[in-house]
Amino acid sequence: MIKGNAVIGQSGGPTSVINSSLAGVVTAAGTSDLISGIYGMNYGIEGLMNEWLFDLGAQPDDIIRGLRHTPSSALGSSRHKLKEEDFPRILSVLEKYDIRYMFLIGGNDTMDTIHRVEAYCRSKGYELTGVGIPKTVDNDLFGTDHTPGFASAARSNILNVMQAGILARDMKKVDQFVIYQTIGRDAGWLAAATAMARREEGDAPHLIYTPEHIFDRDSFLADVDRCIRRHGWVSVVCGEGVKYADGTPVSASVVKDKFSNTEFGAMGGASVAVTLHGMISSEFGIRGEFQVPESLIMSDFVRALPTDLDEAWQCGVEAVRMAGRGETGYMVTIDRISDDPYEIRYGKIPLGEVAIAARPMPGEYFNEAGNFVSDEFIRYMKPLTGELPDFVRLKKVMVLK
């Protein structure tokens, strides 16, 4: 193994625990005999190409410790899609700063970035060890049981839906429905997680729609009608990436990002929640609300889970250990050993198996109708969400005269 400097970057959307992974890398790198200095890309791979580099080794210890309890992306993020003409520039910067170890924290697009950089350097005879560190609230990376950041974002959603459901239940004589939209372009993990808010049969949410299932307007309205007749109101949760049978987004969004991903809720299309709100109002002539928190759940540190923060940290530490063993071209994984008691271990998966593609939820995690989750999914989620609050409701003890 060659001795040299290391660089780390953060890409894509932030999470409430991504900086904990950063702190793990910096701390572990500081004890490595192979890593001389540790640099941080300011604004991801774009920052590397522009030589915008933090000297993370010069940061005070209290700042690095504080990263473990700070949300968002401390280094600044990027969604730059690599072009062929970028690679010579990247290599020249790596050579200039004697960078021999690269760590990127992110989702499938980020894993594609580090995979391509590592492969290019190898093709040019430049020794670079590249390791990916998983991060995405969407939980859609292949090869890992779950991703750091997902559990905390899921908890944020769960508490939002739980409390909004209590409000909607008590206000059903005014507004008879509430629609909650969550992020999740290609997979419904975050939307499905809100099922944990339900304690009793009539609790929110009543219906959950995700990108794994084709959305049908008539079936949706029939589901809504059934719930209103039964409960007097309905709570609907939808993922932003819900589509019709022909592939058209329910949001009607036409905006694309640099990776050709649909920008749901961006200019050029309404949100799914607004669209569904219009369907219900038009069909039944009733009032209701829609709620779209967008990226707020990605940086909701108040609801971040200690286990999630610790796993994010350990993924950063494990990435440095892998690099020290010469294991290049891999992403760190979290492998679940047991549900009860909850137990995991850290593994690895080749970057090429993670890059670009999103992992949908397995079919067995849904009910037969595709509008709610199964008991198997509840078992998967239970160790991740932490303790949830117990709210009470008045007993139906009425005054008799």
Query: pLDDT tens digits for 357-367?
Result: 899 999 999 99
The C-alpha atoms of residue 14 and residue 105 are separated, in whole angstroms, by: 10
**Structure confidence at residue 266 (pLDDT):** 47
- Residues with catalytic function: 138
Q: What is the pTM of this model?
A: 0.93
pLDDT category at 153 given cuts 50, 70, 90 is very high
Say if CB 103 and CB 7 are below 8 A apart: yes
What is each CA distance from 161 to 90, 98, 182, 183, 391, in whole angstroms?
44, 49, 10, 14, 13
| Tokens 């008991």 found at | 375
The C-alpha atoms of residue 293 and residue 380 are separated, in whole angstroms, by: 25
pLDDT category at 129 given cuts 50, 70, 90 is very high
Domain ranges of the chain: 4-148+302-353, 156-300+360-382
| Third-level CATH fold of 156-300+360-382 | Rossmann fold (3.40.50)
Say if CB 355 and CB 108 are below 8 A apart: yes
User: Phi then psi for 263, rounded to 5 degrees?
Assistant: -90, 90
- One fold for 4-148+302-353 and 156-300+360-382: yes
The C-alpha atoms of residue 153 and residue 182 are separated, in whole angstroms, by: 10
| Strand 207-209 versus strand 330-338 pairing type | unpaired
Q: Is the pLDDT of residue 202 over 80?
A: yes
The C-alpha atoms of residue 382 and residue 372 are separated, in whole angstroms, by: 16
- The CATH architecture to which 4-148+302-353 belongs is 3-Layer(aba) Sandwich (3.40)
pLDDT per position as a tens digit, 321-380: 999 999 999 999 999 999 999 999 999 999 999 998 899 999 999 999 999 999 999 999
The C-alpha atoms of residue 60 and residue 65 are separated, in whole angstroms, by: 9
